Amino acid sequence: MPSSINIPDSPQQRIVIVGGGFGGLNLADKLSKLDYQVVLIDKNNFHQFQPLFYQVAMAGLEPSSILFPLRKVFQKRKNVYIRVTTVTEVDADKKQIKTYLGSLKYDRLILAIGADTNFFGNEQIARKAFPMKTVGEALTLRNQILYDYERAITTADYTERQGLIDIVIVGGGPTGVEVAGALAEMKKYILPKDYTELDCDEIDIYLIQGGDCLLKGMSAEASQKAENFLKELGVIIKLNSRVENFDGTHVYIKGGEKIQANKVIWAAGIRGNQVKGLPETSIVWGGRIAVDREHRVSGLEEVYAVGDIAYMEEPDYPKGHPQVAQVAIQQAKNLATNFKNEQKGRSPILFKYKDLGSMATVGRNRAVVDLPRFKFQGFFAWIVWLFVHLFSLLGMKNRLFVFINWIWNYFTYDQSLRLIIRPQKRGVRKEKVKSSKS
């Protein structure tokens, strides 16, 4: 009999993968070539390339350029089933999951549910600040930035106008640094052409970091160079500053400082997504799920976790791995290899992360790159950043479109993507017709 979400029974072992990010998608791709029935579950029907969310938010790329349909990836894989829904609970005793579409039995379960924005328990900041962990959130931010500039040119009061045009970014990691650089370039090259009535010198861009340096996980050279690049672009950097609150018009910093701004972009941390049914003992700091070096969830049989959600200790990483795409991809590859080895009667391989380096861009011709043996900054680092991200995208069409966008923007300083697009609410059109007849 088929399951309640219409997955047919099969003589193959059923491996259910929850999450279509870097870890889940790569794992599904590799397992689909083996003798398994693979079920991939995600709340979206597409894969999102998170490293370029900020370019969507800054009107540098169309959302479709960094998204790829999950079904297109597996069109020729008859043993792969995709379901668009949310997993609400794991019942490890019955070896089944519960979703909004119904329940589903599994032989193996892999959680690749990723992480979301961490507001550190501050509900007011969570309600009013702008996160950027999905393409939808990036579009919401883009709409608000452009809408506020439209309002600013018709706002005569200086104080009120400052609230509309000034922006605060919280978090000095790669996302915060890249957003700050993109905003600074927009202020310098784009806004003076689009909003000739606006004095762009009035615009202040703040980057607030709780620690004593930017890009904490990178080298001291990269951190200092990124700070220098941002200052050259006019970004106001505040180190050793902790945001305590944001009320929608002012940012309150520990120590009494207050900054006027209607928009706060929150890039200060992430927390693992949660799912019911896992043992409390398997959940560790940051909401991550503790796993062993075979990726098995602590205290459970046949349940595994990979990617940002997985907390794994190994000799070189006693406090867990960084929550970056390369970790997720390598963990997926290792777990797939172990499943393949099991079919062939071989022993599993303990996971060992190979650090391939890290990088961040700080605008045109400016980037920092840390490789295992080399560290470099500036134009060449920027070229490396471009090609690494370009070839990491799924689909030749996406790569081509992104490449064309980047080339056009490089030579013209002017994309035509600065559009305020809001979803139409259902029923609005009908109500307007009704009122016109009365």
pLDDT at 3: 56
Mean pLDDT computed over 425-434: 51
**Residue position matching structure tokens 């009120």:** 160
Q: Which domains does the chain have, with CATH numbers?
A: 13-117+270-343 (3.50.50.60), 123-268 (3.50.50.100)
Does the pLDDT at position 421 exceed 90? no
pLDDT confidence tier of residue 420, bands split at 50, 70 and 90: confident
Does the pLDDT at position 434 exceed 50? no
Secondary structure E strands in 78-144: 80-84, 87-91, 96-99, 102-105, 108-111, 115-117
The predicted-structure confidence for 246-259, as pLDDT tens digits, reads as follows 999 999 999 999 99
Contact 48, 139 (CB under 8 A): no
pLDDT at 367: 97
Amino acid letter, 216: K
| Whole-number Cα distances in Å, 248 to 78, 161, 167, 256, 371 | 50, 14, 12, 17, 40
The predicted-structure confidence for 98-138, as pLDDT tens digits, reads as follows 999 999 999 999 999 999 999 999 999 999 999 999 999 99
* Residues identified as active-site: 178
What is the spatial distance between Cα 336 and Cα 188, in angstroms, rounded to a whole number? 47
Mean pLDDT computed over 374-380: 96
What is the spatial distance between Cα 23 and Cα 332, in angstroms, rounded to a whole number? 5
> In what helix (H) or strand (E) does residue 28 lie, and over which residues does it extend?
helix 22-31
What is the spatial distance between Cα 298 and Cα 280, in angstroms, rounded to a whole number? 10
| Whole-number Cα distances in Å, 212 to 257, 270, 360, 428 | 18, 19, 18, 50
What is the spatial distance between Cα 305 and Cα 303, in angstroms, rounded to a whole number? 7
How would you classify residue 286: left for phi > 0, otherwise alpha for psi between -120 and 50, otherwise beta?
Answer: left
pLDDT at 435: 42
The predicted-structure confidence for 9-54, as pLDDT tens digits, reads as follows 999 999 999 999 999 999 999 999 999 999 999 999 999 999 999 9
What is the spatial distance between Cα 74 and Cα 56, in angstroms, rounded to a whole number? 26
pLDDT at 427: 58
pLDDT confidence tier of residue 426, bands split at 50, 70 and 90: low
Does the pLDDT at position 432 exceed 60? no
Backbone angles phi, psi at 13, to 5 degrees: -65, 140
Q: Reduced to 3 states, what is the DSSP secondary structure of residue 434?
A: helix
Mean pLDDT computed over 68-78: 94
Does the pLDDT at position 437 exceed 80? no
pLDDT at 422: 77
Does the pLDDT at position 95 exceed 60? yes
pLDDT at 438: 39
Q: What is the largest CA-CA distance in the chain?
A: 77
Q: CA angle at residue 60 from 55 to 61, to 5 degrees?
A: 80
- For residue 378, what are its two tokens? 């500036």
Over its C-alpha atoms, the chain yields an Rg (Å, rounded) of 23
The predicted-structure confidence for 313-330, as pLDDT tens digits, reads as follows 999 999 999 999 999 999
The predicted-structure confidence for 194-246, as pLDDT tens digits, reads as follows 999 999 999 999 999 999 999 998 999 999 999 999 999 999 999 999 999 99
Nearest to 175 by CA among 211, 197, 207: 207
Bridge-based pairing of strands 167-170 and 250-253 is unpaired
pLDDT confidence tier of residue 83, bands split at 50, 70 and 90: very high
pLDDT confidence tier of residue 294, bands split at 50, 70 and 90: very high
Mean pLDDT of the chain: 92
| Whole-number Cα distances in Å, 19 to 114, 287, 307, 402 | 7, 16, 10, 25
Q: What's the residue count for the chain? A: 438
The predicted-structure confidence for 135-180, as pLDDT tens digits, reads as follows 999 999 999 999 999 999 999 999 999 999 999 999 999 999 999 9
- What is the DSSP code string of 178-191? HHHHHHHHIIIIIH
pLDDT at 320: 95
